[in-house]
Amino acid sequence: MTATDTAAAPDAAFRGLRMSGVTLAHTDGSETVHALDAVSLDVRRGEFAAIVGPSGSGKSSLLAVAGGLSRPDSGEVLVDGDDMTGGSARARTALRHRHVGYVFQSGNLVPALTAADQLRLPLKLGAVENPRDPMELLADVGMADKAHRRPHQLSGGERQRVGIARALVTRPGLLLVDEPTAALDRARSEEIVSLLAREARENDVAVVMVTHDHDVLGHCDTVYEMVDGRLSRQSAPGE
């Protein structure tokens, strides 16, 4: 069964990520390569979805299109009902700031800023209607006692916790997570993915995680596999 087969009919009240028939291609010499080949995907608020697949299969392209960083050649991408692909570059940037949080593989923290200031930074980049309190959010991810430390004073797992908190401070409806456990040991990996699952369910966030780490998939509600730009739904944990 493919993700396209299971995608819901249009629903104006749908909250979360909805991708419908999304195609993205590029040329490699004389060959056209489909990074995304008619991909359809629904991830509702409160749901934690994982995407697995070999390198070069299109997973990173899917995240970029889902978050409005890349415009697809065709298809529709909606987050909480807003079109992430149309309009001006400025309009898309505003929508990303309103709707989307990103967690990067390395944490991608600003070296000169403390953990607390990492969370304050997104709040200075544009108006946020109802932001979460940075210190309360650091407490939620177990980092309140290290709020004044800079990235070089934190472990890899601690940097990821700060990165997750920073991505959540604007109360996004969609959290996109790129290989969050790639540089972590088994115990830290379980902690980070468990934290993502908790945030999805307790704070009503649609979470999409790209990962090669099959050991953490038990925390996810749904698992998809991407191969050659095509997305298919796998058996969910426990099914």
134: left (phi over 0), alpha (psi -120 to 50) or beta: alpha
Compute how many other C-beta atoms are within 10 angstroms of the C-beta atom of residue 131.
Answer: 16
For 154, which DSSP code? S
* The pLDDT of residue 16 is above 90: yes
Indicate the pTM of the whole model: 0.89
Does 34 map to a domain?
yes
pLDDT in tens, 66-105: 999 999 999 999 999 999 988 788 888 888 988 999 998 8
> How many folded domains does the chain comprise?
1
Which carries the bigger pLDDT value, residue 29 or residue 22?
Answer: 22
Query: Does residue 153 belong to any structural domain of this protein?
Result: yes
What are residue 50's DSSP bridge partners? 209, 223
Share of the chain above pLDDT 90, in %: 71
Structure confidence at residue 5 as a pLDDT band (50, 70, 90): very low
Give the domain range for residue 18: 3-233
Kindly state whether residue 165 falls inside one of the protein's structural domains: yes
Going along the chain, which residue ranges are E strands? 16-28, 31-44, 48-52, 74-79, 82-83, 100-103, 174-178, 206-210, 222-227, 230-233
**Residue ranges in 67-133 assigned as alpha helix (H):** 89-99, 115-124
Q: What's the confidence (pLDDT) of residue 94?
A: 87
Q: Is 239 within a domain?
A: no
Average pLDDT over the chain, rounded to an integer: 89
Site of tokens 């797992």: 157
Confidence of residue 3 (pLDDT cuts 50, 70, 90): low
User: At residue 24, does pLDDT exceed 60?
Assistant: yes
How confident is the model over 221-236, as pLDDT tens digits?
999 999 999 999 886 6
Residue 238 in any domain: the answer is no
Residue 135: give its domain's CATH number. Answer: 3.40.50.300
In a domain, 74, yes or no: yes
Contact 37, 229 (CB under 8 A): yes
Give yes or no for residue 2 having a pLDDT over 90. Answer: no
* Residue 23 counted as domain residue: yes
